[in-house]
């Protein structure tokens, strides 16, 4: 956090210090003030104790090592989020303490939504609760006037609320809905004006794919400065690429979008009670190559029963599992290239700032 005046930085550091104590994170977080080009920077960094628990920036086992139960304790989920953020090899930057706390809340909302989400896989899925959405060929699924956006997103993605119906989604669209819900929940509670703009946007045109990323997401890291392969922060949306060119031609199997729960687990959008470990995800994507077939019309399809069978066989062979995971645990090739790369992305998605006065969400003219 960068401040024009030293007293502003001291106030922010004091506020974060109190928050650190409330989280029980005193042993794991350093809070310091440094001078930079005549301004004051507040830094929150990992102590030696936290570095010891996360060698090589590996945050996958932090939850277990600290004995956290983030399924039942909201405070312990917040603690895991904050500790992972502070362990980042590339700093996450915020203009204020409010934005830092909002970022933690958004991630918390995303984890909660991902854990509750269960959908039916169909890359061409066009099923949504009709009382919440209408469909326009050019604008996507639009929010009906008078319908609350948070309630609509929950009803669409969470079967307890939808009456156990599973609506059809691709993994990419599903991950967008999870992140959109988390952002909407934060705006509804802390930035109602922006929440209204978000609602207006979805009543006129849905932001999808690149438009979604441009509006809500920026990336930290990249192939020139890759994030460590085992560094993840709860609430992060992630892309695992399919490095096999043949099976990647099957619609919906180009890769896998997920949200990191924390605790070494990634969401399973189709069977939420069976989240993936990183190794699980590597094995599943690797064995997509074994499930490819041509249907009677000559179209490439995927037999997921074969994939599941192959994954089980591999798990029963520790040496084969190790070989495949090591092959997949490489940074992915650039778009259009299928060579020696694996499934791991070099960057991490981060939600843009959301607070009044500092938000940089890039909604279109239709949101006005």
Q: What is the pLDDT of residues 319-362, one digit of tens each?
A: 999 999 999 999 999 989 999 999 999 999 999 999 999 999 99
CB 166 within 8 A of CB 331: no
pLDDT at 313 over 60: yes
8 contacts: CB under 8 Å, gap ≥ 6: 40
pLDDT at 367 over 70: no
Task: Name the helix (H) or strand (E) containing 136.
Answer: strand 133-136
170-216 pLDDT, tens digit each: 999 999 999 999 999 999 999 999 999 999 999 999 999 999 999 99
How long is the chain? 368
DSSP annotation of 276? B
Could you give the number of structural domains in the chain?
A: 3
Tokens standing for residue 201: 């946007």
30 contacts: CB under 8 Å, gap ≥ 6: 43, 44, 45, 46, 47
CB 151 within 8 A of CB 185: no
Question: What is the pLDDT of the chain when averaged over all its residues?
Answer: 95
Domain-located, residue 71: yes
> Residues 240, 330: one domain?
yes
148-172 pLDDT, tens digit each: 999 999 999 999 998 878 999 999 9
- In this predicted structure, what is the pLDDT of residue 62? 97
269-307 pLDDT, tens digit each: 999 999 999 999 999 999 999 999 999 999 999 999 999
CB 123 within 8 A of CB 65: no
CB 194 within 8 A of CB 367: no
Domain interval for residue 262: 228-345
> Residues 43, 65: one domain?
yes
Locus of tokens 């949306």:
237
- In this predicted structure, what is the pLDDT of residue 366? 57
Domain-located, residue 23: yes
> Residues 247, 261: one domain?
yes
> Residues 25, 116: one domain?
no
pLDDT at 368 over 70: no
Tokens standing for residue 268: 């399973």
> Residues 178, 297: one domain?
no
- In this predicted structure, what is the pLDDT of residue 141? 96
DSSP annotation of 298? S
> Residues 104, 218: one domain?
yes
């Amino acid at each position: 956090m960068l401040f024009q005046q030293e007293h502003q930085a001291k106030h922010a550091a004091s506020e974060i210090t109190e928050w650190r104590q409330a989280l029980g994170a005193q042993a794991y977080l350093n809070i310091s003030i440094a001078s930079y080009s005549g301004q004051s920077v507040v830094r929150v960094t990992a102590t030696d104790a936290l570095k010891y628990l996360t060698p090589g920036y590996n945050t996958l086992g932090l939850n277990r090592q600290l004995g956290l139960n983030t399924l039942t304790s909201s405070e312990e989920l917040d603690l895991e989020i904050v500790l992972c953020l502070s362990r980042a090899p590339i700093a996450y930057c915020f203009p204020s303490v409010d934005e830092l706390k909002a970022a933690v809340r958004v991630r918390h909302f995303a984890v909660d939504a991902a854990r509750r989400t269960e959908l039916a896989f169909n890359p061409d899925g066009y099923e949504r609760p009709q009382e919440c959405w209408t469909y326009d060929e050019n604008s996507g699924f639009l929010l009906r006037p008078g319908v609350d956006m948070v309630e609509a997103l929950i009803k669409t993605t969470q079967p307890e609320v939808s009456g156990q119906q599973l609506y059809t989604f691709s993994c990419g669209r599903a991950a967008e809905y999870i992140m959109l819900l988390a952002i909407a929940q934060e705006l509804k509670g802390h930035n109602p004006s922006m929440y209204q703009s978000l609602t207006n946007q979805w009543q006129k045109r849905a932001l999808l794919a690149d438009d979604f990323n441009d509006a809500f997401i920026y990336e930290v890291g990249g192939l020139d400065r890759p994030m460590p392969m085992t560094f993840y922060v709860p609430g992060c949306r992630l892309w695992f690429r399919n490095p096999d060119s043949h099976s990647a031609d099957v619609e919906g199997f180009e890769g896998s979008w997920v949200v990191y729960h924390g605790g070494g687990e990634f969401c399973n959008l189709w069977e939420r009670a069976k989240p993936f470990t990183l190794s699980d995800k590597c094995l599943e994507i690797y064995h997509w190559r074994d499930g490819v077939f041509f249907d009677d019309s000559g179209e490439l399809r995927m037999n997921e029963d074969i994939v599941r069978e192959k994954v089980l066989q591999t798990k029963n062979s520790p040496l084969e599992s190790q070989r495949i995971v090591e092959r997949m645990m490489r940074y992915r090739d650039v778009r259009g290239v299928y060579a020696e790369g694996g499934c791991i992305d070099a960057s991490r998605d981060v939600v843009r700032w959301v607070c009044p006065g500092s938000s940089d969400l890039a909604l279109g003219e239709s949101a006005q």
